[in-house]
A and B are shown apart, each in its own frame.
Chain A
């Protein structure tokens, strides 16, 4: 089989990390390098102590070889995350976060914790954010039917985790529709029905 069962019908977290690794991030290279043509585009030149923007995968590669330091993205700090968490816990809507924040944060905390201010605090804030949002997505489930559901501001990794359950649940709703209901649906809550038969 070309694709093992767990790989369908959505990407794995690792594949999402792969995709997120194409995002640009700023680094402070510790060595000089001429302009280099990559398929992605042109990298460099690196002229320390000047900074440069490169894809995340490249930044990680250099960081692991101790050839650069990583400049944290403007959302990966305690202040910003605390603000988002406050928003998250005070409103039923999802706060706006970078679409691939989970992937990028995970990678940077893994290989470049020393380039971040208060990495443990960041980790803990991210965990709180995740839990607050996960609990909100369960509320979103109440609105799920056989037609559509809007999920504003949900992020890549969250959608991926919810996907199998939500898609299957929607499928069950679809299958439970009768032909006559198909065009005039009302998800009416709890009206008592005539049970005399």
Chain B
């Protein structure tokens, strides 16, 4: 795991700093997960679980922890080396915060849309196995609670939690894909279909406010990012 190439390639804080943010080459797992975290924050629905990125970072954390332990338990360690350990540990806390933040935003959405998830196999595949289990259990819990606290008292044909209403609305809370999101294009995107039928070209690096539905696929393919 030699990161020296990544580091040499990476940007200085100049006015074109962001340009490198839009390239995939030389992007570390850290940078990528940061992007997916913010994507997740901006997107009304749940995005695909970034299993590989999370696993890589957890591995890295494990390696760093081992290294730290090794250095600290060695009586010959100098003061300078102890200082380096502090830096390593500070970074580890940052990475843990990132991973936790990523998990938290997803858990929030999973709990909010638990019913929707249980109804849509297409959404279930976007979750990790742990998240799916959580969604199931959470929905069971909520359903049982609604039943015992209110629904049992209603006539039997009114006890449902997942009816589709005549005007098209559903009892189950669904993500609002028509909500606006701010996107920045990571590459030029042509023929983006707008709600009124027009076609739009999004230049690389440009920033737009659009309905999530318009860019849903582009986000999933990492051609745009939410900011």
Contact = CB atoms under 8 A, between A and B. Distances in A.
Q: Tell whether any CB of A sits under 8 Å from a CB of B in the complex.
A: yes
B206 A8 contact: no
A182 B196 contact: yes
A40 B30 contact: yes
Interface string B104-120: 11011001000000000
A42 B36 CA distance: 23
Given A9-B44, A152-B206, A24 B13 contact: yes
A172 B108 CA distance: 25
A183 B91 contact: no
* Interface-centre pick from A3, A10, A154 (highest chain B CB count, 10 A): A3
Contact of B41 (A10, A41, A104): A10
A112 B10 CA distance: 23
Interface string B80-97: 100110011011101101
A174 B105 CA distance: 26
A128 interface: no
B111 to A, nearest CB: 7
Contact of A98 (B15, B42, B57): B15
Interface of A is mostly: loop
Interface string A15-36: 1001101111110000111101
B208 A150 contact: yes
A150 B181 CA distance: 12
B12 A73 contact: yes
A167 B210 contact: no
Given A2-B107, A33-B84, A39 B92 contact: yes
A176 interface: no
Nearest to A168: B180
Given A38-B88, A75-B14, A182-B196, A167 B179 contact: yes
Interface stretch (B1-9, B140-148, B149-157, B165-173): B1-9
Given A19-B38, A22-B34, A99-B17, A39 B208 contact: no
Interface string B162-194: 000000000000000011111000000000001
A160 to B, nearest CB: 8
A56 B44 CA distance: 31
B64 interface: yes
A138 B11 CA distance: 32
B91 A9 contact: no
B91 A40 contact: yes
B13 A75 contact: yes
A124 interface: no
A193 interface: no
B51 interface: no
A183 B196 contact: yes
A159 B18 CA distance: 15
Contacts of A183: 196-197
A10 B42 contact: yes
- Top 9 A-B pairs ranked by shortest CB distance? A41-B7, A73-B13, A170-B180, A2-B108, A41-B3, A3-B108, A99-B18, A2-B107, A167-B180
Given A8-B108, A25-B12, A57-B90, 14 more contacts: A21-B94, A22-B31, A23-B17, A33-B84, A34-B80, A39-B64, A42-B4, A53-B7, A58-B87, A74-B14, A148-B209, A171-B179, A171-B180, A183-B196
Interface of A: 1-3, 8-11, 15, 18-19, 21-26, 31-34, 36-43, 53, 56-58, 61, 73-75, 96-100, 104, 144, 146-154, 156, 159, 163, 166-167, 170-171, 174, 182-185
